[in-house]
Chains A and B, each alone.
Chain A
Amino acid sequence: METTTPLLNLNNVSKRFGGIHALKGIDFDVRRGEVHALVGENGAGKSTMMKILAGVIPDYEGEMRWQGRPVRLKNPRHALDLGIAMIHQELSVMPELTVAENIFLGRQPLRGGVVDWPRMFREAEAILAELGYEHVNVRDELERYPLGVHQLVEIARAITSGARLIIMDEPTSALSPMETQRLLELTRKLVEDGDKAVVYISHFLEEVTWVADRITVLRDGQKITTLDAKEADKQELVRLMLGKEAEFFEESFIGSRQVSDEHKNAAPVLVVRNLSKPRAFENVSFELRAGEILGLYGLIGSGHFELGEAIYGLVKPSSGSMELAGSPLRGSPRKAIDRGIAYVPPSRRTGLFLEKPIYQNVSLPWLAKISGFVPAVGREVKVADEVIHRVGVRPPDPLKEVVFLSGGNQQKVAIARWLVEPPKVFVVSEPTRGMDVGAKEEVMRILKEMSAAGVGVLLISSEPETILAAAERILVMAKGRIVEEFAEQSVTKEMLLAAAAGEMAAEPA
């Protein structure tokens, strides 16, 4: 077999979703024996490309070649049969089964129709030894091992099923620093034989430059460049990922909004001390003042959304404490609401009743106050009508079901609910995701108005633009910890990204 043909090529591949060009004319190749990293912002097209490679998206324009021969993958099964395996971000392992069973899931070696256990254990041990994980007992249930081993099992499964190309999607996002290091070493080991290859997708640029041979940068669905990993440095990558916009964002800085002295000197309305929750966030401390918009930025999976949930009482932190206006805070969303905490979750679908009319969505937290034992629909509608006009929901018809509104207007409903009784603290996660510019600005205007009225706003997002557009002070989270604080200084998108993506090595191992 000639070794010069790349394992896989994409030639001029494009993909549209409705009017949106998710991928535009991508040329991409993976050579045998290399780790090829794919980097780009959220929405740059990495997911789409990966899904095409793994057979999840069969209808695209352009050509894919596997070992030089044109193929069109029909489904993930087809991809697997060819030798393309994807390690998903959400793992598809069964923690209750043994390590060996997980490796051979669906392909257990048989003997006379029943599972040949000794052989399965033997082969599982062999593959783990090869990967340098001899200490894992293949007879143990997988749940006894940390997440890093779950990932390992997925990789072992891919190899034993004959995969030649392994796609890893954010494999380290949930791993500890030590596990991350092991996984990176394992990834290098995979391609040692010069036959297999890995496509490695990650936000963490430090990992990428360490593990990859070549790096392809995507932006807005286009391939910007492919460069040799040895030549790439982090700053350069961030610049390539952001493109020309970077200069534009040089302009944006925090502190542009003048906080009134009254609010500047206000006592903190929310104090979070040493808050921890395993696999979400660790030892987080900060203060939120009345009338301030505090941005909490992090890449997806860095624990910032979970922190928001903890403040609202949705998840219980394992240690640490919180204080609202001077007295301890803990409990359920109901208690949080009664104490004056409002919360908008990162996904609209989670927080809204799409099939129900706007007024019922707005009134639900306040039903006991708006009406007595019997809901006073008239008063509910009136209250809803008032707040949806204030936030500019279009059409402003409180009787309309939320599902009929555009995404931006749905989000405004989710926020409008909390204007019925102004909260002390407003925790709002990803308020502008997937919205057009106009709707984004309106949502930002609402947040600024609320803060001007004295509400402490905690703005949680993985979109730097959102944070930079409104926050007066910014905390950056990475892997569950607060790694950086920006206050009273200019901040660029590059600085945020670098802080969030570059902190891998800064953690004590």
Chain B
Amino acid sequence: MAQKPADTTQPPSKLRAFLAKSREYAPVWTLLALFLFFSVYSDSFLTWENMGNILNQVALLAIMGTGITFVLLTAQIDLSVSYMATFAGVVAAYYTAAHLPQPWPIVIALLAAAFLGWINGVGTAWLGIPSFMVTLAMSLIASGLSLYLTRGRILFDLPPLANTLGSGRIFGIKWLVIVAGLTLLLGHLVLKYTRFGRYVYMTGANPKAAELAGVNTKGVITIVMIIAAVTAGFAGVVGIGRLGSATPTAFDGMLIDAIGAVVLGGTSLFGGVGGIPQTIVGLLILGVLRNGLDQISVDIYMKTLITGIILLVALVFNILFAGKKEG
């Protein structure tokens, strides 16, 4: 009823502008601080070889994180990515063992992942199931399919392409790092320089307004879930090449790191804000932290705890600065 006719916009205060700025750059400062800290307190941290290690360690996360960035930008979430990776890796190995000509095992693996992603999308956008529920169910399905196909065994017949991309080198640089970089680059180009990318941002920023402007928001969310599934699947295919085998639980543990990296970088959980550059910063924070804690002989049983605390702090920041959604 009687709505106050007061003008709803107050000019943003200096404080709010400052907060907005610090939110944007907080992850960068975090990264620099961690980097400096480990450089000072460890002799082995700041070496070319170790920098290469860090990139190598976050490469799979980067491929997965690219898709997750799309999903978070639309204010959804995908909790099935790591299981999707395991599943795609298993499918690729399974059909290689079945002597299907290359590159069909990889194509089938990616298509299967895309199909599961489509189900995630339809469940979220058209049936209105919260994305975390649909993708939670999907993680069990993907995991179940992996177990069913492998019957719990480890598969050693891998597609040669997966071996090359996962553990090969070119000009002394690991293919894995190059592939991760290219995936991030492609994601960035799509988000920043295509119409679809604009729709992703606008859908996340205000789904109702996007719908009012004629954006097919349900379609956008569905495609975004497919993208997340395919990048996860691709991470799985490359990942088995890195591990040298496909196991039914190979990448399951990556879920928290993959989502955590994207959020650490500053992509908003509420959608519409963030992007691939932020995700890269987040990946590096996670990589530097993990690697650095190894270098400065911290109790290895503390590593997970420390990473968890840092992730929590980042989440608090994410909510504090992005949570201005009331009203």
The answer to whether A300 has its CB under 8 Å from any CB of chain B is yes
The answer to whether A404 has its CB under 8 Å from any CB of chain B is yes
CA distance A48 to B2 in the complex (A): 9
Q: Which of B193, B195, B202, B209 has the most CB of A within 10 A?
A: B209
Contacts of A349 in B (CB 8 A): 8, 327
Bitwise, A269-305 to B at CB < 8 A (1) or not (0) is 0000000000000000000000000000000110000
Q: Which of A89, A332, A353, A368 has the most CB of B within 10 A?
A: A353
Contacts of A47 in B (CB 8 A): 1-4
Q: A355-B205, A364-B210 are in contact. Are A42 and B3 (CB under 8 A)?
A: yes
Q: Which of B168-176, B212-220, B280-288, B294-302 contacts A (4 or more CB under 8 A)?
A: B212-220
> Does the CB pair A360–B202 fall under 8 Å?
yes
Bitwise, B255-275 to A at CB < 8 A (1) or not (0) is 000000000000000001100
Contacts of A367 in B (CB 8 A): 195, 198-199
Minimal beta-carbon separation of A23 from chain B (angstroms): 11
> Does the CB pair B1–A46 fall under 8 Å?
yes
Q: Which of A98-106, A225-233, A371-379 contacts B (4 or more CB under 8 A)?
A: A371-379
Q: A353-B205, A403-B12 are in contact. Are A368 and B195 (CB under 8 A)?
A: yes
The answer to whether B194 has its CB under 8 Å from any CB of chain A is yes
> Does the CB pair B209–A353 fall under 8 Å?
yes
Minimal beta-carbon separation of A409 from chain B (angstroms): 9
Contacts of B202 in A (CB 8 A): 353, 356, 360, 364
Contacts of A203 in B (CB 8 A): 1
CA distance A350 to B205 in the complex (A): 11
CA distance A351 to B273 in the complex (A): 18
Minimal beta-carbon separation of A252 from chain B (angstroms): 20
The answer to whether A410 has its CB under 8 Å from any CB of chain B is yes
The answer to whether A407 has its CB under 8 Å from any CB of chain B is yes
> Does the CB pair B194–A375 fall under 8 Å?
yes
> Does the CB pair A405–B212 fall under 8 Å?
no
Contacts of B1 in A (CB 8 A): 42, 46-47, 89, 169-170, 173, 201, 203, 300-301
Bitwise, B199-229 to A at CB < 8 A (1) or not (0) is 1011001101111111110000000000000
Contacts of B327 in A (CB 8 A): 349
| A202 nearest CB neighbor, chain B only | B1
> Does the CB pair B212–A350 fall under 8 Å?
yes
For the A-B complex, the count of residue pairs with Cβ-Cβ distances under 8 Å equals 123
Bitwise, B118-135 to A at CB < 8 A (1) or not (0) is 000000000000000000
Contacts of A326 in B (CB 8 A): none
Chain B interface size range = 20 to 34
> Does the CB pair B7–A356 fall under 8 Å?
no
The answer to whether B5 has its CB under 8 Å from any CB of chain A is yes
CA distance A353 to B209 in the complex (A): 7
Contacts of B11 in A (CB 8 A): 404
Q: A47-B1, A407-B7 are in contact. Are A365 and B205 (CB under 8 A)?
A: no
> Does the CB pair B8–A334 fall under 8 Å?
no
Bitwise, A68-98 to B at CB < 8 A (1) or not (0) is 0000000000000000000001000000000
* Partner pick for B4 among A22, A170, A314, CB 8 A cutoff: A22
CA distance A374 to B190 in the complex (A): 9
> Does the CB pair B212–A434 fall under 8 Å?
no
* Residues of A within 8 A of B (CB-CB), count: 61
* Partner pick for A333 among B3, B9, B194, B211, CB 8 A cutoff: B211
> Does the CB pair A406–B273 fall under 8 Å?
no
> Does the CB pair A434–B273 fall under 8 Å?
no
Contacts of A48 in B (CB 8 A): 4
> Does the CB pair A364–B4 fall under 8 Å?
no
The answer to whether B6 has its CB under 8 Å from any CB of chain A is yes
Q: Is the interface of B mostly helix, strand, loop or mixed?
A: loop
Contacts of A372 in B (CB 8 A): 195
Q: A47-B2, A334-B216, A375-B198 are in contact. Are A355 and B7 (CB under 8 A)?
A: no
> Does the CB pair B7–A375 fall under 8 Å?
no
> Does the CB pair B7–A434 fall under 8 Å?
yes
CA distance A114 to B240 in the complex (A): 54
> Does the CB pair A404–B7 fall under 8 Å?
no
Contacts of A348 in B (CB 8 A): 8
> Does the CB pair A374–B5 fall under 8 Å?
no
> Does the CB pair B212–A345 fall under 8 Å?
yes
| A434 nearest CB neighbor, chain B only | B5
> Does the CB pair B6–A352 fall under 8 Å?
no
Minimal beta-carbon separation of B3 from chain A (angstroms): 7
> Does the CB pair A405–B9 fall under 8 Å?
yes
Minimal beta-carbon separation of B13 from chain A (angstroms): 12
> Does the CB pair B214–A333 fall under 8 Å?
yes
Contacts of B3 in A (CB 8 A): 42-43, 47, 433-434
CA distance A375 to B216 in the complex (A): 17
The answer to whether A509 has its CB under 8 Å from any CB of chain B is no
> Does the CB pair B206–A353 fall under 8 Å?
yes
Bitwise, A26-45 to B at CB < 8 A (1) or not (0) is 00000000000000111111
Contacts of A40 in B (CB 8 A): 2
> Does the CB pair A333–B212 fall under 8 Å?
yes
Bitwise, A394-405 to B at CB < 8 A (1) or not (0) is 000000000111
| B273 nearest CB neighbor, chain A only | A355
Contacts of A42 in B (CB 8 A): 1-3
> Does the CB pair B9–A374 fall under 8 Å?
no
* Partner pick for A356 among B4, B8, B193, B205, CB 8 A cutoff: B205
Minimal beta-carbon separation of B319 from chain A (angstroms): 16
B-contacting residues, A158-197, CB 8 Å:
169-170, 173
CA distance A7 to B84 in the complex (A): 65
CA distance A20 to B7 in the complex (A): 10
CB-defined A-B contacts under 8 Å, sample of 9: A17-B6, A41-B2, A301-B1, A351-B209, A354-B206, A360-B198, A364-B210, A374-B194, A406-B7
For the complex of A and B, the 5 pairs showing the least CB-CB separation, nearest first, are A364-B213, A407-B7, A334-B214, A337-B214, A434-B5
Which residues in A have some Cβ–Cβ distance to B below 8 Å? 17-18, 20, 22, 40-48, 89, 169-170, 173, 201, 203, 300-301, 312, 314, 332-334, 336-338, 343, 345, 348-356, 360, 364-365, 367-368, 371-375, 403-408, 410, 417, 433-435
